[in-house]
């Protein structure tokens, strides 16, 4: 439970920093805030779901762990692709802002997600 709390704290801190940078950029550049917020919502939900799946599968047998984590990854990416396709085809968002912020958020939040995995594994190793 401690690693989940640590992950959520780091996630929150990173989110505050990123939105600070975005709002600072909003003062200097023309950024469509709804497009950026939509990308952030998709990626934040994806990262949270990925880490929660990892936490759920952590104490499971290896075969079940692999099925949950990698099956969840495939399902999450499929849902993201469908949502992005829907947004691109049907939404009045500014596509350049949406796509750029989507990839930027994805790269940043995947790093936080992987660091959360590593911390959880390191904690188990230290206990043993």
Q: Is residue 95 part of a domain?
A: yes
User: How sure is the predictor about 125, in pLDDT bands with cuts at 50, 70 and 90?
Assistant: low
- Pairwise CA distance, residues 81 & 79, whole Å: 5
Look up the pTM and report it.
Answer: 0.86
Are 108 and 14 a contacting pair, CB within 8 Å? yes
Q: Is residue 68 part of a domain?
A: yes
Q: Which residue would you say has higher pLDDT here, 119 or 69?
A: 69
Q: Is residue 72 part of a domain?
A: yes
pLDDT in the model for residue 61: 92
Are 80 and 14 a contacting pair, CB within 8 Å? no
Q: Within a 10 A sphere around the Cβ of 56, how many other Cβ atoms?
A: 13
Count of domains for the chain: 1
Mean pLDDT on 86-115: 90
Q: Is residue 128 part of a domain?
A: no
Q: Is residue 69 part of a domain?
A: yes
pLDDT in the model for residue 120: 77
Q: Is residue 83 part of a domain?
A: yes
Q: Is residue 91 part of a domain?
A: yes
Mean pLDDT on 46-53: 92
- Pairwise CA distance, residues 68 & 82, whole Å: 21
Q: Is residue 33 part of a domain?
A: yes
pLDDT at 93 over 80: yes
Quote the domain boundaries for residue 99: 2-123
């Amino acid at each position: 439970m401690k690693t989940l709390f640590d992950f959520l704290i780091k996630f929150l801190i990173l989110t505050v920093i990123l939105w600070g940078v975005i709002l600072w950029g909003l003062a200097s550049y023309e950024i469509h805030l709804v497009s950026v917020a939509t990308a952030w919502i998709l990626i934040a939900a994806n990262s949270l779901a990925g880490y929660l799946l990892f936490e759920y599968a952590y104490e499971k047998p290896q075969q079940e762990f692999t099925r949950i984590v990698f099956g969840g990854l495939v399902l999450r990416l499929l849902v993201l692709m469908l949502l992005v396709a829907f947004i691109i085809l049907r939404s009045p968002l500014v596509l350049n802002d949406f796509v750029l912020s989507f990839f930027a958020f994805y790269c940043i939040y995947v790093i936080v997600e992987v660091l959360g995995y590593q911390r959880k594994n390191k904690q188990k190793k230290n206990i043993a």
